[in-house]
């Protein structure tokens, strides 16, 4: 049985061991493609894989747990071990990761608790989750024949709080699950965050997160440990290879040679975890959101991250440059040729049929009635859209409306006529509508564009989505609402009924069918469409938006099949085309091409 411990060095079987790790998130890569990414990590010459564990993926509905299929963390770890990789596991309740709500379940927002704190009720929910997760990880520790070397207690907590009782409580909960391998924390490598986020008195190893200036950052970390009489090895737990991207902004990339030089400087001083080795995709509605002042800035569907492997999982220039540099640094390092996926050649598929959201709404979901609007969370919904509906009496000209405290993006229709689109910058501005009808049907389609994943706004009320206060007509709040929760999960999308009609300018569903002799990965060109998402054969590929920077969505071969395939596109602006193109390369909006940045 192998052993691993933390002393002045990492010790594997009693001998000094340098961790060369890469981040691969099992939840951002189709299960069928795990092997490809893990193999390429081993082929690079690395010995360890790191992954977060998102709580909201495994307990998206309170008390209902899912560790099967795509969520089978145990199978991911077993496969990594078969390939010859050790594992670092980051199962903290909060993960950041540019992931919806930083991995926290949305249902926590319905509780009167303080997240990421020693609040006893919050810890009770964490305990219940860990009781389900515990056996999966305990049995896969190195000292029990598995491959797990270490566990993370909390993630960048020094950038959020300084509640040491919370950190100690988390560690106790983990220990009760039989997780008895060493523990670590990861924080920015400067004094304030290290002081707030570490747990040295419990013997928990502090690690640093940075993407450059290894000498300076490791010196900060080393001095902090020395000043607190703590002995331990140096490790960069997140070496940032690139960055995430947001809508309307240029794609961020980093010079490959400069990146490799900075990686090698880090490796020569300590252990490393590359973030990301393979970024993958924010499938479905699981993208996170940045916070800038009063504005939340949703991140895009692609999590390419300018990583060592591209979004598809194929080696980039960084991969080959790094592999060469590693071989020169250590000629005895075991390295092999990486795997490369073939990609689909360009082809055009035709739109088969369309239907408006209004025409098929009753087939998709049932309404919930209330006097005043209910938030998405109160409706038991975590992600997607919610439609709010009310019959409004005509009171004479002019008729003014105002949406009060709404998140995130609202499309207003009256009698199915598009009236206004409001986002965070314009919510609250009044608008008018002149009708000749005695009764108007007011429809407000709200999109949850993603919850904040980092910083103080995790605690902000803006993370509750939908209509949070109400809708004003004239000077009074309207009462008597119907709400239609539109999670747009696969079960709901199977109910789309195309017997109804669709008119230009209306939100609706559009079906495309195509035949394949051989399923190959590709990118779907969505230029010429407005805003929405795409599902292929029941797999939600994520959001698209004409503002860019990406005008394509990645479609993995794993989601395709030989023979007939169905592409279902939901488009909310009423802007569509009669055909759509599949091809080998992502499409970038002109003017938002990559800009080079150094970390």
Q: Are residues 262 and 388 in the same domain?
A: no
> In the prediction, which pLDDT does 395 show?
85
CATH number (domain holding residue 546): 2.60.120.260
Residue 362, domain member (yes or no): no
> In the prediction, which pLDDT does 596 show?
63
Q: Are residues 230 and 260 in the same domain?
A: yes
Q: Are residues 168 and 48 in the same domain?
A: yes
Q: Are residues 325 and 428 in the same domain?
A: no
Tokens read off for 301: 């569907």
Q: Are residues 466 and 496 in the same domain?
A: no
Residue 137, domain member (yes or no): yes
Q: Are residues 293 and 248 in the same domain?
A: yes
The verdict on whether 311 is a catalytic residue reads no
Q: Are residues 285 and 377 in the same domain?
A: no
Q: Are residues 152 and 209 in the same domain?
A: yes
> In the prediction, which pLDDT does 598 show?
60
Strands of the sheet containing 531-536, edge to edge, are 539-545, 531-536, 563-571, 508-516, 347-356, 579-583, 522-525, 552-555
Residue 416, domain member (yes or no): yes
Residue 590, domain member (yes or no): no
Catalytic-labelled residue, pool 156, 377, 464, 571 = 156
Please write the tens of the pLDDT for every residue from 9-64. Answer: 999 999 999 999 999 999 999 999 999 999 999 999 999 999 999 999 999 999 99
> In the prediction, which pLDDT does 1 show?
87
Say whether 490 sits in a helix, a strand or coil: helix
Residue 593, domain member (yes or no): no
CATH number (domain holding residue 321): 3.20.20.80
Q: Are residues 154 and 295 in the same domain?
A: yes
> In the prediction, which pLDDT does 221 show?
98
Residue 468, domain member (yes or no): yes
Ranges of the chain whose pLDDT falls below 50: none
Q: How many domains does the chain have?
A: 3
Domain boundary among 453, 479, 505: 479
Catalytic-labelled residue, pool 50, 100, 154, 238 = 238
Residue 364, domain member (yes or no): no
Q: Are residues 447 and 517 in the same domain?
A: no
Domain boundary among 329, 363, 390: 329
Q: What is the chain's alpha carbon radius of gyration, rounded to the nearest angstrom?
A: 25
Say whether 169 sits in a helix, a strand or coil: helix
Domain boundary among 458, 479, 500: 479
Q: Are residues 517 and 472 in the same domain?
A: no
Residue 595, domain member (yes or no): no
> In the prediction, which pLDDT does 168 show?
98
Q: Are residues 317 and 247 in the same domain?
A: yes
Strands 289-292 and 15-16: unpaired
CA angle 549, 552, 556 (to 5 degrees): 135
The verdict on whether 238 is a catalytic residue reads yes
Strands 466-473 and 531-536: unpaired
Instruction: Match 């304030």 to its residue by tokens.
Output: 192
> In the prediction, which pLDDT does 294 show?
80
Sequence-ordered list of residues with C-beta below 8 angstroms from that of 166, at least 6 positions apart, any chain: 116, 117, 118, 123, 154, 157
Range of the domain at 421: 372-479
CB 574 within 8 A of CB 506: yes
CB 76 within 8 A of CB 26: yes
CA angle 477, 420, 501 (to 5 degrees): 105
């Amino acid at each position: 049985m192998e052993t691993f411990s933390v002393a002045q060095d990492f010790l594997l079987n009693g001998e000094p061991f340098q961790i060369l790790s890469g981040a691969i998130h099992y939840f951002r890569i189709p299960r069928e493609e795990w092997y490809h990414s893990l193999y390429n990590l081993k082929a690079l010459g690395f010995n360890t894989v790191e992954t977060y564990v998102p709580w909201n993926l495994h307990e998206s509905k309170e008390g209902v747990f899912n560790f099967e299929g795509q969520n089978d963390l145990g199978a991911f770890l077993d496969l990594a071990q078969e390939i010859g990789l050790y594992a670092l596991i980051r199962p903290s309740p909060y993960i950041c990761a540019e992931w919806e709500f930083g991995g926290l379940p949305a249902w926590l927002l319905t509780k009167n608790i303080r997240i990421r704190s020693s609040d006893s009720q919050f810890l009770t929910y964490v305990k219940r989750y860990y009781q389900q997760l515990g056996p999966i990880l305990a049995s896969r520790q190195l000292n029990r024949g598995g491959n797990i070397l270490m566990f993370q207690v909390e993630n960048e907590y020094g950038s959020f709080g300084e509640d040491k009782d919370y950190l100690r409580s988390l560690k106790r909960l983990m220990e009760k699950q039989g997780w008895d391998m060493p523990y670590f924390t990861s924080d920015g490598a400067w004094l304030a965050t290290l002081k707030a986020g570490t747990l040295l008195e419990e013997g928990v190893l502090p690690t640093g997160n940075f993407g450059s200036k290894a000498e300076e950052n490791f010196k900060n970390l080393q001095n902090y440990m020395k000043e607190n009489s703590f002995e331990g090895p140096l490790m960069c737990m997140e070496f940032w290879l690139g960055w995430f991207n947001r809508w309307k902004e240029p794609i961020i990339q980093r010079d490959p040679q400069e990146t490799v030089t900075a990686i090698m400087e880090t490796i020569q001083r300590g252990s490393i975890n590359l973030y990301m080795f393979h970024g993958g995709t924010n499938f479905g509605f699981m993208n996170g959101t940045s916070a800038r002042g009063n504005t939340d800035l949703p991140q895009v569907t692609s999590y390419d991250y300018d990583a060592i492997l591209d979004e598809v999982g194929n080696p980039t220039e960084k991969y080959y440059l790094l592999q060469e540099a590693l071989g020169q640094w250590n000629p005895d390092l075991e390295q092999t040729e990486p795997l490369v996926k073939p990609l689909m050649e360009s082809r055009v598929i035709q739109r088969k049929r369309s239907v408006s959201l209004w025409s098929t709404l009753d087939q998709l979901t049932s309404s919930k009635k209330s006097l005043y609007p209910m938030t998405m969370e109160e409706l038991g919904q975590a992600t997607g859209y919610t439609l709010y509906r009310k019959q409004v009496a005509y009171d004479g000209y002019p008729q003014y409306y105002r949406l009060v405290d709404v998140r995130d993006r609202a499309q207003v229709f009256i009698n199915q006529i598009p009236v206004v689109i409001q986002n965070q910058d314009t919510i609250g501005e009044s608008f008018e509508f002149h009708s000749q009808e005695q009764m108007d049907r007011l429809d407000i389609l709200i999109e949850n564009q993603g919850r904040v994943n980092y910083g103080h706004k995790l605690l902000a009320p803006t993370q509750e989505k939908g209509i949070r206060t109400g809708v004003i007509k004239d000077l009074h709040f309207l009462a008597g609402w119907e709400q239609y929760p539109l999670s747009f999960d696969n079960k709901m999308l199977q109910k789309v009924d195309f017997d109804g009609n669709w008119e230009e300018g209306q939100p609706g569903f559009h079906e495309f069918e195509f035949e394949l002799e051989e399923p190959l990965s590709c990118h779907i060109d969505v230029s010429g469409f407005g805003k929405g998402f795409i599902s292929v054969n029941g797999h939600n590929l994520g959001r698209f938006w004409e503002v860019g920077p990406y005008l394509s969505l990645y479609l993995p071969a794993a989601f395709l099949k030989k023979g007939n395939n169905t592409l279902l596109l939901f488009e909310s602006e009423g802007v569509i085309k009669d055909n759509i193109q599949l091809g080998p390369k992502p499409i970038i909006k002109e003017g938002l091409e990559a800009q080079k940045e150094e970390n």
